[in-house]
Structure 1
Amino acid sequence: MQLRPITSPQGRRLARQVGIGLLAIFGALMGAAVAPAAQAQVGPLTVDVKVRPSLSPGATVDLPPVGSVQFPTHWAPVQVRASIRSVDVDAARAVIDQPAQLEKLTASAPDTVKKAAAQSLAVSLLFAFAGAALLTGLATRSWHGVGLGLAVVAVATLLLGGLTAVSFDSAQLAEPKFTGLLSSAPYVQRRTTSLAERLESYRSGLADFVQSVTTLYAVGQQLPRPDTGLNGDVTTVLHISDLHLNPIGFDLADRLVTQFGVELVVDSGDLSTWGSTAEEGFVNRIGALKVPYVFVRGNHDSQAIADAVARQRNAIVLDGAVTSIIGLRIAGVADPRDLPAEGAKDDLGKAEVQASVERLAAVVDGYDNEHPDEPVQIAVVHDPTRLDALRGKVPLILSGHMHARDVTYTSGTRTMVEGSTGGAGLTADGLRRLSEGNPVPLEATLLYFAKSGPEAGRLLAYDEITVGGLGLTSVSIDRVLVPKDEVNPAPTPTPTTSPSTTSATP
């Protein structure tokens, strides 16, 4: 058979038809891309559902702020995406208070989302055909060209539909891939042979996700205001600790900074695990927080890690020094040990820890003597086991190291030991707990200080944030109001935004 050259009439006709077909496909893709989402009411959640051609096939459920869940249900280039648009807080409270409503929601949610997906598919197809008709009509200015373009899109649609149907595996609904906060712990799947039981596992997981998100919004609305009587004039500080190379800890910090208007982050150490130069890149996430970041080195952090932190434009590294920032005066000292290995070695070097705390206490004394009307308000150390020299000298001590939250009040000083914001990250304890199905929760604390007036600089309240549970699907926020009869620091001057640092050596 002899092939006709492209310059022949038949060749030009074929090239024109191919061009019209490609133009129609492009128009269809553009039309589908701008098609509006279908809305579904899943209990207290208003959900947008979209069905689109995509190079990332499967089904995705966005669950802000805890992340997203991806189900590899098929390999055809079509994506079904559901994302939360809004939350009815009153309805969310009702779901929390009445388990029967949650059970009802669990039973109806899959069918509701399925119906919305069908509606979105219909709208996407309508926009796809409209886009194809528009582009081919403008290019050919003939009904024949439009018809050819629509025929090409129809064939492509049938092909995509067939591939999706052939490749669809409903069992994959029980094998999701987590991103965001949800990705730091394994999904616990029931080991069953029945497809119905596997889908029931998915339904139970969906209920957990819906409950967690609704709880977050409902609890957030119910929190008492920390600024009662101050007309909202507060400074919000985020305390984190022991990230141990877990990027999910920075994800959590980033969300809290954005959602709660955090003005300063204080990190009480163990940002890394081994302190190696290979870990220095991890600290680049600090700059993305876009607020001042005060850091003291932990026993897992090397000097190289501290230097890498110091290179971040928004970071302040304290080691026997005092910094004044956003109206707060903060003293800090590095953990003097270099003990990246865990186990019995963690009990070594306590004499060195005590000496470093005593050195910081001397720095605080020297600063307070030079600034009697502007004393140090916060001391930051990593290891909280040797704090006697600081108690009574500062109203607040922030620390970490123990991977468990603890708050005490002694001798006029409130000591707040933070848990592991990285869920113990890449450490022996963290990995062991993860393998046992009992992951270390991600913990952080929001601190609210009076910004002005006679109580300026006083800690008014704090929120204890905990993200935990199997799959890290539970989110809790517990608020504590600080009694006014605790040590009340001297009035502070008008807050400044530019930090300054003073050091002293005993």
Structure 2
Amino acid sequence: MDHVTPQEDEPKPRRARMWSAVRRAAASRFTRRTGVFFAIIGVALVGLVVGVLLGARAQTDIGPFQAEMSLRPATSGETEVVVPPLGALHIDSHDGPLRLTVRLGALDQGRTQALISDPSGITRASQTVVDDLQAGILRLGFRTVSVSVLGAVVIGLLVFRSTRRAAWCGGVALAVTASTFGIAAGTIRPDSIEQPRYEGLLVNAPAIVGDARRIAQDYGKYADQLKAIVANVSRIYTTVNKLPISDQVDGGIRILHVSDLHLNPSAWPTIRTVVEQFDIDAVIDTGDITDWGSEPEATYVGSISLLGVPYVYIRGNHDSAVTAAAVGRQRDAIVLENRVVDVAGLRIAGIGDPRFTPDKETSPTGSGRSRQVIEQVYDAGARLAATIKASGKPADVCLVHDPESAPALNGVCPTILAGHLHHREIRMLPTLPNVPNPSRVLVEGSTGGAGLRGLEGEQPTPLQMSVLYFDDAKKLQAYDDIQLGGTGQAQVTLNRTVVERPRPSTSTGPTPTSSPTPTLSPTPTVPPPGN
């Protein structure tokens, strides 16, 4: 039997030990590289998050607003629009681990003033909002990439003390950020804006938006029915000739009284048709032609110059000095502010409302009915009465916006025209010891159907106007109350009222008695023409 000597067996353990050492070295190198790899990824993610939290924000202008846009790490992607102090709305706009926040800040005074001063500014601003938003998001994206890479590189240098490994951290951060943006862009849901989630006071926004949509839909019906309305006004004129005193008023003065148009574009075609069909000599507007009295609204009054007859106007509480100036620039327009003029054979005195309260939340008849306000409105009528008396010649018609001004004019002029209430009223002021012949007050309804507010209820506010007939002695002889059905309704009704003369006194004594209060003799309502 052969025996192996120790010298022959010695190389095998040495080789085994060498291979074992090589394997241990390789395993250690792999483990170290794996550890470094995961360390780089971890450091890169930490640096990315730190960079995003500290610097992923950008200031941008969205319309007249100064807005701040920012990106934040999140478990699910969404867009949050913060409107301090009203709350926020959340939109499920995209997927991915980033949340976009848009915080609307203060209004820029310069841009806001320019927007109000330029009639086309609002339209242009609405068209550029999307461009402003896209530009802001693009700028925010570039900034986010920059700060995420920078954050990863800085943290990498602090941890590894190696520029090579820090560069790898920056590369990982760039790849992660780019892939996150890619996921967000690939999963964007434009329709999600129609189903936002509200927080804070904005929880009432769905109801508000719903009302606005319903109003817009109802308001669109005006255009559908406008032709029928105008046609019916024309047809009703043929019926007017059969009403009482038609023969007597042919040679008199015809005045169209309108009020409270409130920016309703449907009012102008109807006014123009009545002016033409009823052979109107002048139009009297007792105020509130606009809603807010702003410069952009001033373009609405441009239709005045198309009527072809004098247009006598006083300010309402929704009209500003800007509104009055815009009216005054129109052809045939006459703005009365505590003065007396002769128009179409009548001596007309008028004064604007002393208030400027365009807040739509205020009731049409209110604007605050405190004692102080009532006294302020009454004093406006008293100032107009003093102006008429100082002129040395009585006025035939007085114009005020709020009928609360009328008592101060009692007996100063026989006919007082007003508006403001958004419904029609006829009243006789009381006979007083020093006022034997009291004045008649004709309060017009809203010729604009109270504007958009008239669409808020279930029944739309009708459009109302009146044709006043004055005889050659400049006395009110009769008036036609014209009412057009509200939104989506083409019904037109006309009611003629004949003003009876005061009955002569039956007293035989030397001292004459005061004339009794004139009475009104209404004629039957004309049935509406067919639609």
TM-score (normalised: structure 2): 0.48
Q: Quick check: 1:286 aligned with 2:319?
A: no
**SS of residue matched to 1:247:** coil
Give the 5 Å matches for 1:452-467: 452=472, 456-467=473-484
- Structure 2 counterpart of 1:466, one-letter code: Q
Q: Quick check: 1:216 aligned with 2:221?
A: no
| Counterpart in the other structure of 1:468 | 485
What are the Cα deviations for residues 417-439 of structure 1, in whole angstroms up to 9, with x where unaligned? 0000000013xx42312xx2x11
Q: Which residue, 344, 351, 359 being the options, matches 2:383? A: 359
| Counterpart in the other structure of 1:347 | 369
2:406 and 2:307 map into 1 onto residues whose CA distance is: 30
Q: 1:181 to 1:258 in 2, by over 3 A?
A: farther
- Greater relative CO (CA pairs within 8 A, separation 6+): 1
**SS of residue matched to 1:329:** strand
| Counterpart in the other structure of 1:393 | 412
Q: 1:366 to 1:280 in 2, by over 3 A?
A: same
Q: 1:176 to 1:338 in 2, by over 3 A?
A: closer
| Counterpart in the other structure of 2:194 | none
Deviation at 1:356, TM superposition (A): 1.0
- Structure 2 counterpart of 1:292, one-letter code: P
| Counterpart in the other structure of 1:377 | 396
Q: 1:362 to 1:235 in 2, by over 3 A?
A: same
Deviation at 1:177, TM superposition (A): 7.4
**SS of residue matched to 1:389:** helix
Q: Which residue, 440, 460, 463 being the options, matches 1:442? A: 463
Deviation at 1:470, TM superposition (A): 6.1
**SS of residue matched to 1:253:** helix
Q: Which residue, 307, 312, 316 being the options, matches 1:298? A: 316
| Counterpart in the other structure of 2:424 | 405
Q: Quick check: 1:425 aligned with 2:447?
A: no
Q: Quick check: 1:182 aligned with 2:208?
A: no
What are the Cα deviations for residues 3-30 of structure 1, in whole angstroms up to 9, with x where unaligned? xxxxxxxxxxxxxxxxxxxxxxxxxxxx
Deviation at 1:473, TM superposition (A): 1.6
- Structure 1 counterpart of 2:242, one-letter code: Q
What are the Cα deviations for residues 152-172 of structure 1, in whole angstroms up to 9, with x where unaligned? xxxxxxxxxxxxxxxxxxxxx
Q: Are the equivalent residues in 2 in contact too, given 1:227–1:234 (CA < 8 A)? A: no
Give the 5 Å matches for 1:81-120: none
Give the 5 Å matches for 1:15-94: none
Deviation at 1:275, TM superposition (A): 0.5
Q: 1:225 to 1:181 in 2, by over 3 A?
A: farther
| Counterpart in the other structure of 1:273 | 291
Deviation at 1:351, TM superposition (A): 2.3
Q: Are the equivalent residues in 2 in contact too, given 1:399–1:418 (CA < 8 A)? A: yes
2:295 and 2:239 map into 1 onto residues whose CA distance is: 41
**SS of residue matched to 2:403:** coil
**SS of residue matched to 1:386:** helix
What are the Cα deviations for residues 444-485 of structure 1, in whole angstroms up to 9, with x where unaligned? 0001111x3xxx101111100000156222101110111122
Q: 1:359 to 1:308 in 2, by over 3 A?
A: same
What are the Cα deviations for residues 325-371 of structure 1, in whole angstroms up to 9, with x where unaligned? 1210000001010100132634353222111111011111112xx23
- Structure 2 counterpart of 1:322, one-letter code: V
Q: 1:486 to 1:458 in 2, by over 3 A?
A: farther
**SS of residue matched to 2:269:** helix
Deviation at 1:225, TM superposition (A): 2.8
2:503 and 2:334 map into 1 onto residues whose CA distance is: 29
2:283 and 2:224 map into 1 onto residues whose CA distance is: 19
Deviation at 1:181, TM superposition (A): 7.8
1:470 and 1:419 map into 2 onto residues whose CA distance is: 15
| Counterpart in the other structure of 1:477 | 494
> Of the two, which has the highest radius of gyration?
2
Q: Are the equivalent residues in 1 in contact too, given 2:290–2:297 (CA < 8 A)? A: yes
Q: 1:286 to 1:218 in 2, by over 3 A?
A: closer
**SS of residue matched to 1:388:** helix
- Structure 2 counterpart of 1:472, one-letter code: Q
What are the Cα deviations for residues 387-409 of structure 1, in whole angstroms up to 9, with x where unaligned? 22101111000000000000112
**SS of residue matched to 1:408:** strand
Q: Quick check: 1:324 aligned with 2:342?
A: yes
Q: Are the equivalent residues in 1 in contact too, given 2:234–2:277 (CA < 8 A)? A: no
Q: 1:404 to 1:210 in 2, by over 3 A?
A: closer
2:265 and 2:357 map into 1 onto residues whose CA distance is: 22
**SS of residue matched to 1:415:** strand
1:290 and 1:378 map into 2 onto residues whose CA distance is: 21
| Counterpart in the other structure of 1:313 | 331
- Structure 2 counterpart of 1:396, one-letter code: T
TM-score (normalised: structure 1): 0.51
Q: 1:366 to 1:255 in 2, by over 3 A?
A: same
Deviation at 1:182, TM superposition (A): 2.0
**SS of residue matched to 1:387:** helix
**SS of residue matched to 2:501:** coil
- Structure 1 counterpart of 2:374, one-letter code: K
Deviation at 1:254, TM superposition (A): 0.5
Structure 1 outlier segments of 4+, above 6 Å: 208-215
Q: 1:395 to 1:289 in 2, by over 3 A?
A: same
2:346 and 2:298 map into 1 onto residues whose CA distance is: 28
Q: Are the equivalent residues in 2 in contact too, given 1:181–1:248 (CA < 8 A)? A: no
**SS of residue matched to 2:268:** helix
Give the 5 Å matches for 1:329-340: 329-340=347-358
**SS of residue matched to 1:376:** coil
Q: Are the equivalent residues in 1 in contact too, given 2:230–2:269 (CA < 8 A)? A: no
Q: 1:413 to 1:363 in 2, by over 3 A?
A: same
| Counterpart in the other structure of 1:243 | 261
Q: Are the equivalent residues in 1 in contact too, given 2:233–2:274 (CA < 8 A)? A: no
1:240 and 1:226 map into 2 onto residues whose CA distance is: 22
Which runs of 5 or more structure 2 residues have no equivalent in the other structure?
1-217, 432-437, 505-531
2:225 and 2:261 map into 1 onto residues whose CA distance is: 16
Deviation at 1:223, TM superposition (A): 1.9
The root-mean-square deviation of aligned C-alpha atoms, in Å, is 2.9
Q: Are the equivalent residues in 2 in contact too, given 1:226–1:460 (CA < 8 A)? A: no
